[in-house]
Amino acid sequence: MEIWTGAFWDWLIYPENSSQIADPASLLSQALAELGGRFPEFVFSLALDDFTSQKSQMVGEAEKIIEAALPQQMRMLLGFAHTNCLYAAGFGCRDHVLLKIENLQKSLEAADIPNTIGVAFSFNNTLSALRWAAQRAVVAQRSKAKTGRGKVYLWQSGDEKRSFDYLAHYAHEEQLCASIRTGEKQLAEECASSLDRKLFEQYQPLSLLRIRLQEVILRMGRSAIDSGVAPEEIFMSLQNYLTEVGAQYDYERLQGILVRAAREFSEKVWQVCFRQGTDVVQRAKSYIKKHAKEEFSLEELAREIGTSASYLSRRFKLDMGKSITAYLNELRIEEAKRLLLDESYSITDVAFQVGYGSVQHFGRTFHGITGCSPSEWRKINRKLGGARKL
């Protein structure tokens, strides 16, 4: 296996991927042979910022410019890995190395190859020091996610955030999901952009950042489904977003995924609300009237009319100005009033006739709507009925 294929850099920077390499020891031996038996004094990570699979020639063009701009001892083990990054190691004093790499960055820009470079120096002649230098060069290069691309970043002590606050910015996430549930497209995009900035304000380990992004995307998808979007419309998009997060190494490219997902999911919710909102409520009302005397749950009602319980609940209250429970109780109490006028029915008979499982529940609900108990209402209306006869 040739070390410049990127396998060496993958193993060095992301040791958790070492299981994908059959013989890491042999790979390291080849690398040390290329280096003359010494570990390098610095590593640089060069991101081809506009690289895509359709621009594969960019790698070869960049390699030629690197070879022309840097002497051999500053571009050793040159390899391409992680979608859009070139890596190399070398020897040289700090000031001279940085000057050469800054000139390299400008040469690439002049050749219309947008790039960002991270540089880190090793602290001793060991494999561990080389690994730290490689990882820190990547951390430095990722600074473009918050500071801007097209620069050379030198890793400095303190660039890393060692503790990952997994639940930081949870309130922003809640606001984002709420805006998706209501189909507020502009607000959803603004919330996603704000959360994006919060998550990328300081360096976070890639493995944990990926988990955090995937969790937010899953919650956004679930919010869209809860608002009535067909699950099959969401699942394919979820799979694509989650795969992209899992495969992406460039923080700048990771940073835009939440906004794209929020835009798509909120648009789908808006389309559902616009297309079927009123019809859903009308079908719910029809079912409730037909089955008012029966016991059924919100989930059963939603399933019968082909939507989600959470979406139905929110949409019903928005259109009717009251909850489904309040609407059902009003229907039942109106029917109870009619039955109470017939004195052949006891209060208990009326309660069970209109769908209540206990007289106590019926009495509390009746009083809450009419302001009096069923027996009081019967007495008042019996007198009114007698007065009308006179």
Residue 359 in any domain: the answer is yes
Same domain? 15 vs 127: yes
Backbone angles phi, psi at 93, to 5 degrees: -75, 155
More confident residue, 208 or 218: 218
Residue 317 in any domain: the answer is no
> What is the token pair recorded at 38?
């010494």
Check whether 184 has a pLDDT greater than 60: yes
Domain boundary among 272, 305, 339: 272
pLDDT (average), residues 268-296:
84
| Number of domains the chain contains | 3
Same domain? 191 vs 141: no
Domain boundary among 256, 272, 288: 272
Residue 309 in any domain: the answer is no
Per the structure, the complete domain to which residue 239 belongs is given by 170-272
The answer to whether 79 touches 246, Cβ cutoff 8 Å, is: no
350: CATH: 1.10.10.60
Residue 75 in any domain: the answer is yes
Within 10 Å of residue 36's Cβ, how many Cβ atoms? 9
Same domain? 219 vs 348: no
Average pLDDT score, the chain: 88
Same domain? 28 vs 109: yes
Same domain? 106 vs 211: no
pLDDT score of 59: 93
11 burial level (CB within 10 Å; 0-12, 13-18, 19+): buried
Alpha helices in the chain (DSSP H): 7-13, 24-34, 57-69, 94-110, 127-141, 144-147, 170-181, 185-199, 206-226, 231-247, 251-254, 257-290, 298-305, 309-320, 324-340, 347-353, 359-370, 374-389
Residue 295 in any domain: the answer is no
Q: How confident is the model at residue 1 (pLDDT cuts 50, 70, 90)?
A: very low
Same domain? 126 vs 266: no
Same domain? 13 vs 140: yes
d(CA 10, CA 79): 10
pTM for this predicted structure: 0.64
Q: How confident is the model at residue 111 (pLDDT cuts 50, 70, 90)?
A: very high
Task: Kindly report, residue by residue over 143-166, the tens digit of the pLDDT.
Answer: 898 889 999 999 987 655 555 566
Residue 222 in any domain: the answer is yes
pLDDT (average), residues 130-155:
92
Same domain? 141 vs 203: no
Same domain? 106 vs 224: no
Query: Which residues are within 8 A (CB) of 30 and not within 5 positions of it... i.e. 6 or more apart?
Result: 3, 8
Query: Which residues are within 8 A (CB) of 295 and not within 5 positions of it... i.e. 6 or more apart?
Result: 355, 357
Residue 293 in any domain: the answer is no
Same domain? 208 vs 337: no
